[in-house]
Structure 1
C-alpha cells in the first residue's frame, strides 16, 4: 500500500502515519509506505505551494476564503486537476511504475486529484481517498476514486449531494496513532513532563503555529500566577523565539514542535486551538475540552461550525470572551461539564482501527477470490451518527 500526503501543514501526514500504524497492526505482512507526494517529486513547486498557502491564510484570509468557497460544493474541473498534476506530480507515473502498489490511499485532495488523472489516462490501479476534516470540499471528489473514508455522517451526506454513490463511502472517523487511544492519569503525566500540578491550559496552532498564537499567549499571560500555560508553536521557530523573549514565568512553558503532544494533552485541563481536523479529533479522543480561536478560513471554519453545532467545542473570538472563560474555568470548572459529557459520548463511538479495516477488507476479498474462495461482499456500514 502506498499512502500519499502533501507537505501543507502537518495534519494530512499525521493521518497517513496513523493509518499506516493501524494497517501494520492488523496485518503485519502488508508493506505500507507514506510519501508527501509533491515534496518527493517536485520539491521546488511544492515549496512554492506551501509558501503561497501560508501567505494567503495569514495575510489575506478574506481572499483565501473566497477562493475556498468558490464552487466548494462542486468537483474540481478537469482543467484544474490537470494543472495540479502538471505543476506538482507530473513524474508520478514513473514513481508508481517503480513501486507498483496494490492500493493507493490519499489524505490530501491534490494527490487524490492527480491519481485520478492517471486513472482517466488508462493507468489501472485502486484508489482510496481519506477526507481529514469534518467537512467535504468539492476538491476531494473525483469519479475515479474507488472508496472514500470519511469522518462522519455529515461528510457522507455532502459526498452524496456531490454525486458520489453511497456504496463508495465508509464512515470510519479519522485515524489516530496508538498514543491517542488511551487517556493517562493527569497528575502522573505532569510529573513525567516536569510541570506543576495546577490548572493547565494547552495552546496549539497546528504544525505551522498559526491562529493568532502570539496575541492569545499574551492575553493568557495575565493569569500566569494561577494558570499554567503550555504553548506549542509547532515548526514556527520565529514565534517560539518571540514568546520566549516576551514571557518569562515558571508557569509558562514554550514548546516548539514535539512528538509527544498526546502526553501534553493528557497533562492539560483545556485546549485552545485553531480548528485543524487532526488536532480536534485527537482532543476529542483524549476528551480534552476544546476552545476554538481564530480558525483558518475555509476548511477550518467549517470544522469549527461542525464542532460548535454538536456542542463538542466552544468558540472564543475576543479578549473579553477569553477573559470570561478563563475566570469561569478557574472558579467554576463545572461550567463546561456539558462539553465533557458530549466529548465522552463522541469518544465512545470511535473505533480507532475502523479506517484500517475499511482499507483492508476489499484487498482481502480480492485475495480470497483469486484463491478460489468466495467471501461475503464487503458492504460499507454506517456507524452511529453524530
Structure 2
C-alpha cells in the first residue's frame, strides 16, 4: 500500500507560517510513521530569484511603514482574494504549482499562508481533486484566508471559528485545533543543565526576541533594560538581523557578563525554559510557543493588523501584557526576582495552558480527517 502523502505549502513572509507547517509535519509523522510530508515555501521554490526579492520588500515595509500594512489589512479584512487576483498570482509567480502537485502526488494539501492557499483554491476550481486544508496561523481570520474551495479550516480558537462562521462558512468546515508547535516545545529541560549549556548564571533571566527578522524594540527601552544587568540576565535574540547584532555588541551598555546577544538559533524552546520572562513581538507562532512553555510575555510594537489581534487575545487570556513604558519593565523585572511569586505565576500559566491548549491537537485532527 502506498504511503499517504501530505504537502504543506507556506511562504517566507515572516518565519511563523513555515514553522507552523514544519510543526504540523513533525506532529503527523510522530503520530503515524507511514505518512510522508513535504514542506515548501512555494514562491521561493518556484521563483528562487524573484521570491526572496518580494519577501525583502515586504520586510522593509514592515520595518519602515507598518501603518501602511495596517491600512491595507483593515481595508481588505472581509474580502477574500477575487478570481482576477488569484489568476494574476498564478500567472506572475505560481505558474508551475500544478506541475509540482502532479509530481509529488499528495493525498492532502495544507496551506499555512494565504497566497498558496489562493493558488491551490484556483486549481481546485479548475478541476484539482485533492482536499485542501487551511491552517490559519494567527488569532484572527483575515478575508484573504477564505475560499469556497477550502475543505477544512484549522483555527487557533473558538473566537476565530466564530469570525469565519459570521462570514457564512459552515461550522462543519472548521476545526478548532490550536496552532501547532514543534514537539520540542512540549519537552521540559533541567534549568541548571540549560544554564551550563548557554553559559548562564543562576539569576532571573529575561529573553528578548525580535522574531526571525530581528525587528527589535526601540533603542531607548532596549538600553533601559540593561540598567538591570547586575541583577537580571538578559538574552537578546535578533534572528537573522546581523546588522542589529553587530551594532548591539559594539555598544558598551550591552558589554556585560550577564548580557547575551544571539543571532539565529534553533534552540528557542530551551531559551524559553531557562528564562523567567519573554519580551517579544506578538507573532502568532511565537505567542503560541510562549503559551506552550507557560512563560509570561510582554508584547511590544505589534504590527497593525493580525499582531494587534494576537496581542489582544493573549492579554485578555492572562498570558501577557503590553509593554508600554519603563514602569512595565520595572514591575516585571522586580517580580521575577521573587522566586516564589514568579514560580507560582508560571505554574498558574501552565495550568491554564493545559486547560486550553494541546500542541498535538492539530496533527491529531488532520490525521483523523484523512482517515
C-alpha contact (below 8 Å) 1:214/1:243 kept by paired residues: no
Q: Which residue of 2 aligns with 1:170?
A: 175
Q: Which residue of 2 aligns with 1:199?
A: 204
Q: Which residue of 1 aligns with 2:3?
A: none
Taking the aligned partners of 2:218 and 2:195, their CA distance within structure 1 comes to: 23
Q: Which residue of 2 aligns with 1:290?
A: 297
Taking the aligned partners of 1:66 and 1:339, their CA distance within structure 2 comes to: 37
Q: Which residue of 2 aligns with 1:251?
A: 258
Q: Structure 1: which 4+ aligned runs deviate by more than 4 Å? A: 335-340
What's the offset of the Cα at 1:57? 1.5
Trace 1:184-263 onto structure 2 (pairs within 5 A).
184-212=189-217, 214-246=219-251, 247-263=254-270
TM-score by length of 1: 0.89
1:133 to 135, 138, 146: 138
Secondary structure at the counterpart of residue 43 of structure 1? coil
Segments of structure 2 that go 5 or more residues without pairing to the other structure are 1-5
Describe the superposition over 1:124-175 as per-residue Cα deviations: whole angstroms up to 9, x where unpaired.
2110110111111111101100011111111111111122111111111111
Trace 1:28-47 onto structure 2 (pairs within 5 A).
28-47=33-52
Deviates more, 1:183-192 or 1:18-27: 183-192
Q: Which residue of 2 aligns with 1:267?
A: 274
2:184 to 159, 179, 186: 179
Taking the aligned partners of 1:313 and 1:2, their CA distance within structure 2 comes to: 34
Trace 1:3-152 onto structure 2 (pairs within 5 A).
3-152=8-157
2:333 to 326, 332, 336: 326
Secondary structure at the counterpart of residue 132 of structure 1? coil
What's the offset of the Cα at 1:87? 2.9
What's the offset of the Cα at 1:192? 2.7
Taking the aligned partners of 1:226 and 1:87, their CA distance within structure 2 comes to: 54
Secondary structure at the counterpart of residue 229 of structure 1? strand
Secondary structure at the counterpart of residue 330 of structure 1? coil
Describe the superposition over 1:272-301 as per-residue Cα deviations: whole angstroms up to 9, x where unpaired.
000011111111111111111111221111
Taking the aligned partners of 2:335 and 2:184, their CA distance within structure 1 comes to: 31
Taking the aligned partners of 1:183 and 1:217, their CA distance within structure 2 comes to: 29
Taking the aligned partners of 1:354 and 1:337, their CA distance within structure 2 comes to: 27
Give the count of matched residue pairs. Answer: 364
Taking the aligned partners of 1:266 and 1:323, their CA distance within structure 2 comes to: 22
Taking the aligned partners of 1:338 and 1:190, their CA distance within structure 2 comes to: 21
Deviates more, 1:290-299 or 1:274-283: 290-299
Matched, 1:308 2:323: no
Taking the aligned partners of 1:13 and 1:151, their CA distance within structure 2 comes to: 16
TM-score by length of 2: 0.93
Taking the aligned partners of 2:103 and 2:217, their CA distance within structure 1 comes to: 44
Secondary structure at the counterpart of residue 183 of structure 1? coil
Q: Which residue of 2 aligns with 1:370?
A: none
What's the offset of the Cα at 1:37? 0.5
C-alpha contact (below 8 Å) 1:312/1:339 kept by paired residues: no
Taking the aligned partners of 1:337 and 1:74, their CA distance within structure 2 comes to: 44
Secondary structure at the counterpart of residue 311 of structure 1? coil
Describe the superposition over 1:192-237 as per-residue Cα deviations: whole angstroms up to 9, x where unpaired.
3221110100000111111426444312111111110001101111
Taking the aligned partners of 2:79 and 2:280, their CA distance within structure 1 comes to: 29
What's the offset of the Cα at 1:250? 0.2
Deviates more, 1:316-325 or 1:68-77: 316-325
Taking the aligned partners of 1:320 and 1:356, their CA distance within structure 2 comes to: 41
What's the offset of the Cα at 1:362? 2.8
What's the offset of the Cα at 1:333? 7.3
Matched, 1:2 2:1: no
Taking the aligned partners of 1:10 and 1:254, their CA distance within structure 2 comes to: 20
C-alpha contact (below 8 Å) 2:209/2:278 kept by paired residues: yes
